[in-house]
A and B are shown apart, each in its own frame.
Chain A
Amino acid sequence: MSLASRRVARLAAFSLRRSAHASTSARYNSVNADDIAHFSKFLPTSTILSTLPPQSLPSSELSPFNDDWMNKYHGQSTTVVRPRNALEVSEVVKRCNERGIAIVPQGGNTGLVGGGVPIKDELLINLGNMNKVRSFDPVSGILVADAGCVLESLSEYLAPHNHIMPLDLGAKGSCQIGGNVSTNAGGLRLLRYGSLHGSVLGLEVVLPDGTILDQLSTLRKDNTGYDLKQLFIGAEGTLGIVTGVSILTAPAPQSASNVILALPKFENVLPLFVQAKRQLSEILSAFEFFDREVYDLAIKHGQGRALSEEDVEGAECFVLMETSGGKREHDEEKLNQLLETLFESDKPLINTGVLSQSPAQFASMWAIREGLTEAVSKEGKAYKYDISVPLAKFKEVVDTTREHLGSKGLLRDDAVKHVVGYGHVGDGNLHLNVVAAAYTPEIEAALEPFVYELVASYKGSVSAEHGIGVMKTHALHYSKSNVSIEWMKRIKQLFDPKGIMNPGKVLP
């Protein structure tokens, strides 16, 4: 294909996506005053926000729900409802099913692929009012909670019981467990505690016809029939609304420590990871990498305390390692041995590193890593590519993308300001971030499908943990075969024949 026709094809794909959204709304009815009156029969006024009469709020009141966290996707919903329990959710969904109204389920609205905000004027069902812990068994560690519980508040609830949630991510102060489950969130602890497909024991889901599917089991083992909950975990709200979660929490580690290592070159990350795994073995609980450029951005935007000038000198990238275990002395010994080996070897893999000496420093070092996402957002408009590629190719992906943008003349202060990479090395997951001064079709056209094709060339995943949302529906085929996608569509048809549940998301 010639350069010119390739460009035309790309622009056509771009506008095709736009018009696909337009056709989405043509199939559905919009919420009207009668619907509001119906909801008011069982929902108190404080749980309904609408620009329609009788409330007639200004649309700015609905912005926190209509606009996603990155301020990249903007829905046009007229009405947000915030039910307090599964029955109320069920009643709302029943009405929508009867009337043919499309629904967008929303949790903490911290998603990064536009999956939790409306495309047009779908009814927004926000789960934030369903925020109670239903039960906790301190012996088994099984926690049952409403879907709208904020992840951090669940951690706080568990702390006095000496347990922790099996997942942790930078958005913990706002994200909700229902959303985490619906997106199969990964995060910083996946290396140690595995994915939600393993730690979620049961779900309560409201199906697209309003039926409440109660599979809130608190059993660790239950092999009785098809494991339906696995369909909803990661379905991003397209098969049903998660209203309750039963999850296996882990005993809190008695001791935790972390260290940030400064590496002279990226090539050392892989052998460092191999050595850390070998010497630290079961106490290694996180292994994160971030490049020098994004570290500088984090410090610039005040995320956590900076390392000293001499510690960062000559560092091309950094690794943050966390250890957690049952006995401090045992963990310290293992960690010190590793650090000594690294430091005193003939060809050291690291320049230097810093080790946390107190819980305050521990938190501050994590703050640097967890604050990278926010720093990138403060620096400009971020194009985020959350990809799984072979670990050895991480730097290559970042450099190749940067060169490509350079060849298009887009590396300028008023276009693309930074191309950075950071991520969960231990899980083979790279977060490639292209920081622009503004979101423009030109930059998007330069990046897509370039990045997806690059990932496909490594047989990687175009979405390691962020999900598909509305952003990557057209890119699904880069990582899943047509047969897979066809069967996904059939399952969707089975659960949601009217297609009202979060339309335009996940499936192309």
Chain B
Amino acid sequence: MRPTASRLLNILVPVKRTIDYAVKIRVNPDQKGVDLNVKHSMNPFDEIAVEEAVRLREKLKDAVKSIKVVTIGGTKSQETLRTALAMGADSGIHVSLADSDPTPEPLGVAKALRAVIEREKAKTPVDLVILGKQAIDDDSSQTGQMLAGLLNWPQATFASKLVVDAEKKEANVTREIDGGLEELKCRLPLVVTTDLRLNEPRYASLPNIMKAKKKPIEKITPADLGVDLAPRLETLKVAEPPKRVGGGKVENVDQLIEKLKEAGITAVKA
């Protein structure tokens, strides 16, 4: 039976351009930030989010009407959108900032996303927002949760498994928690944040990269959304963790015992 219009899903995947996780981070001399003149790429957890959306379409086929990706940032953020389009997203929204603007904070991002979802309500109402659980530059892990709060939608965070029933507009989410795995049954519309084990993102294949060039990217500003992204937090100091002091080599067991004693380690009484 073909899914009726009311049962088609629209998925929104917010993505963030961050310093690539393989780069060696260097703190700036002013101790207020890190050197940003290095390689950037899509936040790895956001990559997982895009991959999950594409896999949902592969599983549910026509039931997934659209996969939209959205990013907030300067001109280079567009490349992140293109990567997502090359992975299989349909279209992108670029909320553009000046290249000199500071990175928006989670609350600001959540408010902007809420505004985007409001905007999409008429034509393509969002049923599922899949976000990375945290960005690897600030490790906040707040945006998804704040967004759910602002929208008053259910949230299922740190997802390691996502099963969606488009007909019933329900989802079963397995979450990674300290005690193990927790299973939640949620109603759509729903906010999900991805954890590492949810999937392994695909390489962008050439046919998709070619197609991605023709996919539309809409450019809007925070003003269009009626959102103020000015920071509310002030970074006081950024510093490297204390350098690891090298160990020493000893020539024999007696020397080892001596060094251990010096370090204040005593033998356990039997």
Give A residues with C-beta under 8 Å from B: 45-46, 159, 259-260, 305, 307-308, 311, 339-340, 343, 350, 352-361, 363, 365
Contacts and interface: CB of A to CB of B under 8 A. Distances in A.
B204 A363 contact: no
Interface stretch (B18-26, B139-147, B217-225): B18-26
Nearest to B200: A305
Q: Which 10 A-B pairs have the closest CB atoms?
A: A358-B41, A354-B203, A353-B206, A357-B83, A359-B20, A359-B22, A359-B39, A354-B205, A357-B204, A308-B202
Contacts, number: 60
B86 interface: yes
B56 to A, nearest CB: 16
B21 A45 contact: no
A360 B20 contact: yes
Contact of A357 (B22, B23, B86): B86
Given A46-B249, A340-B210, A359 B204 contact: no
Contact of A339 (B23, B24, B44, B206): B206
16 contacts: A305-B200, A308-B205, A339-B206, A339-B210, A340-B210, A343-B206, A350-B206, A357-B42, A357-B83, A357-B203, A357-B204, A358-B39, A359-B39, A359-B41, A360-B21, A365-B203
Interface in B77-128: 83, 86
A331 to B, nearest CB: 14
B251 interface: yes
Nearest to B26: A160
B209 interface: yes
Given A339-B210, A363-B22, 10 more contacts: A46-B249, A307-B203, A308-B202, A339-B206, A340-B210, A357-B83, A357-B204, A358-B41, A359-B20, A360-B41
Given A307-B203, A363-B22, A365-B203, A355 B209 contact: yes
A46 B209 CA distance: 57
A361 B249 contact: no
Contact of B203 (A339, A340, A343, A355): A355
B23 to A, nearest CB: 7
A355 B204 contact: yes
A350 to B, nearest CB: 8
B242 interface: no
Contact of B206 (A308, A352, A360): A352
Contacts of B204: 354-355, 357
B207 interface: yes
